[in-house]
A and B are shown apart, each in its own frame.
Chain A
Amino acid sequence: MSSEHTVSATGESLLTAQPAHVPDDRVLDFDIYNPPGVDEGAPLQEAWKSLHKPGVPDIVWTPRNGGHWIFTRYDSIGKAFLDPENFSSKVMFVPRSWGEQYKFIPVTTDPPDHTAFRAVVNAAIGPRVMARLQSDVEEAAVSLVERLAPKGHCNFVKDFAEPFPFRILLRLLGLPLDDAPQLKKLADQITRPDGSMTLAQACQNFYDYLTPFIEARMAKAGDDAISKMVNGQVSGRPVTMQEAQNMCALVLFAGLDTVVNFSSFTIQFLAENPQHRKELLDHPELIPTAREELLRRFSVASVARYVNRDLVIEGIALKEGEMVLLPSVLPGLDERKYENPMAVDFHRDLQSHMTFGYGPHVCAGAALARREVDAFLKAWLTRIPEFQIAPGAKVKHHGGIVGAVEEVPLIWDPATTKTIRH
């Protein structure tokens, strides 16, 4: 069972036997680390959308990654996110054996414990802090775009999608900007492991990196988000070193692999769809609505929940200890909720989406992400309005806990770029 070819990068056997209570018609082979066709060039969200094909039940069980359920529809995913008593966050990645090594806070806690930690994280990176960062975010986007504009080409992922949010994140946390590439490699081992280390080792690397900064700021607090978290109070007592490590590691990790990939999916879409690009250029006031529509269409994360007790959901028996994947990628693509969901329509009357999750664990960094996306769209489109994917280049996507774009080689004519005074 443990030869190289029967074990995946997460250390789990490739295929798990179907348990007796899983009906045959619910079994479907789906690997979140390699959704069907993605390695061969299929777009990531289209690969996920295969779970909405006619004849595929709303709840399926896959033998991949330890064997787990997948909820595929907006309604059932939303209900499970809102029900932490039955769907616990204590293990939130598949395979379960992989997720059990992950202890970051508050994501792996349930209410009522979760509530106190969440308040500490919100005070460090919540909407109000972000409102104060607005001009820093805009400046970072503008300076990167202005450096690229005269060149006429770039690899968007390495030249913009990564450095832009890293700059904001590391400034927010008060960490050295030069550490970004090293930290990005650590984050990738959590979301898209290559088998070189266990998840416990990947997390330990985050703790080892952060501990000296945490100790320094417990001794003398600064104005940064790490200082706010490590000197926070939970239920009337100071946070412990271990809690501080797990909160800081979460905020750092979550900021290294999310907006990076979302903005790469977005630039690929805008490169391939000049009419959408033109619409935003002619009507920059549409950017906030367009940002939400793009978030709906190009969602990247797939987290899971641990079944806390035997349950029957939509006629299907789930057993205590089983894992249910609640892919945030899928609700936005559900045609029962959104008409013509694969189309991007900047005029869609979009009241909500689940790209940032839902329920108590809804993304604490959503306000930061939204500001980053707006700043990116505005800075890029006004200065580099005309661009395309480099001829012959193939943009490759990857599956994982966070879906990724490998690289996006772009070209443009420097004569079409604009210099804007700011």
Chain B
Amino acid sequence: MKVVFISSDNTRTELDVPAGTTVMQAATGGGVRGIAADCGGCASCATCHVYVQAPYIDRLPPISTHEDAMLDNTVSERRSNSRLSCQIELTQALDGITVDLPKEQH
């Protein structure tokens, strides 16, 4: 599965990871800076915030109540395409998913 990260200074990083990996795991395992993921992937810290580009944003499962509450507490502004990358598991439909990284996670 291909996943693309675009940092706030426009650095583009493309990674190839197995299906089932989360976007957060792809970033932390692939040395992408700009995703902190302090809690390790349980949607407890709101520090793996990403903005998911079209068309992928519409292919994601709906936001859970808990993720919704956490997204209200990210340090960078919440937008309509804000998600926590630890909650995005890569599937065939998401191959090529492109996410913009916010300026700050802390």
> B46 — which chain A residues lie within 8 A by C-beta?
122, 126-127
Give the residues in chain A near B37, CB-CB below 8 Å. 352
B61 at interface by CB-CB < 8 Å = no
- Interface status of A192 (Cβ within 8 A of chain B): no
* In the complex, chain A residues whose CB is within 8 Å of the CB of B74: 127-128
B75 and A358 contacting across the interface, CB-CB below 8 Å: no
Contact of B70 (CB < 8 Å), options: A81, A122, A131, A356? A122
* A351 neighbours in B (Cβ, 8 Å): 28, 31, 33
CB-defined interface of A358-392 with B at 8 Å, one 1/0 digit per residue?
11111000110010000000000000000000000
Note all chain A residues with C-beta closer than 8 A to B33: 351
Prevailing SS type, chain B contact patch: loop
Contact of A414 with B by CB under 8 A: no
Q: Is the CB of A362 within 8 A of B75?
A: no
Q: How far is the CA of A352 from the CA of B39 in the complex (A)?
A: 11
B38 near A362 (CB under 8 angstroms)? yes
- How far is A131 from B77 in the complex, measured between Cα atoms in Å? 11
Q: Which of B43, B44, B75, B106 contacts A361 (CB 8 A)?
A: B44
Residues of B within 8 A of A129 (CB): 73
Chain A binding surface, main DSSP class? helix
* Chain-B contact segment, one of A111-119, A298-306, A395-403: A111-119
Nearest neighbor of A78 in chain B, beta-carbon distance:
B40
Q: Mark B62-85, 1 if CB is under 8 A from A, else 0.
A: 000010011011110000000000
- Measured between beta carbons, the chain A residues less than 8 angstroms from B39 are 358-360, 362
Asked if B36 lies at the interface with its beta carbon under 8 angstroms from chain A, I say yes
Size band of the interface chain B makes with A: 20 to 34
CA distance A360 to B42 in the complex (A): 6
- Note all chain B residues with C-beta closer than 8 A to A78: 40
B25 within 8 A of A: no
A119 to B69, Cβ gap below 8 A?
A: yes
- Report the bound CA distance from A255 to B66 in whole Å: 25
Q: How far is the CA of A370 from the CA of B37 in the complex (A)?
A: 15
* Residues B73 and A366 in contact, CB atoms below 8 Å apart: no
Known contacts: A111-B42, A126-B46, A127-B106. The answer to whether A352 contacts B73 by CB under 8 A is no
* Residues B40 and A126 in contact, CB atoms below 8 Å apart: no
A356 to B36, CA, bound (A): 12
Q: Which residues of the other chain, B, contact A128 by a CB distance below 8 angstroms?
A: 72-75
Among A98-137, those with CB < 8 Å from B are: 111, 115-116, 118-119, 122-123, 126-131
Question: Is A127 within 8 A of B40, CB to CB?
Answer: no
In the complex, which of the residues B42, B44, B69, B75 contacts A367, with contact meaning CB atoms closer than 8 Å?
Answer: B75
- The A-contacting residues of B in range 41-60, CB under 8 angstroms, are 41-47
Query: Using Cβ atoms and an 8 Å threshold, which residues of chain A touch B69?
Result: 119, 122-123
Among B28, B31, B40, B47, contact of A359 (Cβ-Cβ < 8 Å) = B40
B17-42 interface mask toward A, CB cutoff 8 Å, 1 = contact, 0 = none? Answer: 00000000000100101001111111
Question: CA of A351 to CA of B42 in the docked complex: distance in angstroms?
Answer: 19
Proximity bits, A338-352, B CB within 8 Å = 1, else 0: 000000000000011
Shortest CB-to-CB span from A134 to chain B, Å, is 10
Report Cα–Cα, A367/B36, bound state, in Å.
12
Q: Given the complex of chains A and B, what is the CA–CA distance between A157 and B69 in angstroms? A: 37
Residue of A nearest to B49 (CB): A127
Contacting pair B72 A359 (CB below 8 A): no
Specify the chain A residue showing the minimal Cβ separation from B43.
Answer: A115
Query: Is the CB–CB distance between A115 and B36 below 8 Å?
Result: no
Interface residues of A in 17-37 (CB under 8 A from B): none
Nearest CB of B to A420, in Å? 25
A362 touches B70 (CB 8 A): no
Q: Give the docked Cα–Cα distance between A116 and B69 (Å).
A: 9
Cβ-defined contact, A362 with B106, below 8 A: no
* CA distance in complex: A352, B35 (Å): 10
Q: Does A175 contact B (CB under 8 A)?
A: no
B38 closest partner in A (C-beta): A362
Task: Please provide the 6 A-B residue pairs with the shortest distance between their CB atoms, ordered closest to farther.
Answer: A126-B73, A127-B75, A119-B69, A362-B39, A360-B42, A122-B73
Ordered by A's residue number, 7 sampled pairs between the chains whose C-beta atoms are within 8 Å are A78-B40, A81-B40, A119-B66, A128-B72, A356-B38, A360-B42, A360-B44
Enumerate chain B interface residues (CB-CB to A < 8 A): 28, 31, 33, 36-47, 66, 69-70, 72-75, 105-106
A interface list, Cβ under 8 A from B:
78, 81-82, 111, 115-116, 118-119, 122-123, 126-131, 351-352, 356, 358-362, 366-367, 370
Given contacts A352-B36, A359-B39, A366-B38, 13 further A-B contacts (CB under 8 A): A115-B43, A119-B69, A119-B70, A122-B44, A122-B70, A123-B73, A127-B73, A127-B75, A351-B28, A351-B31, A362-B44, A366-B45, A370-B106
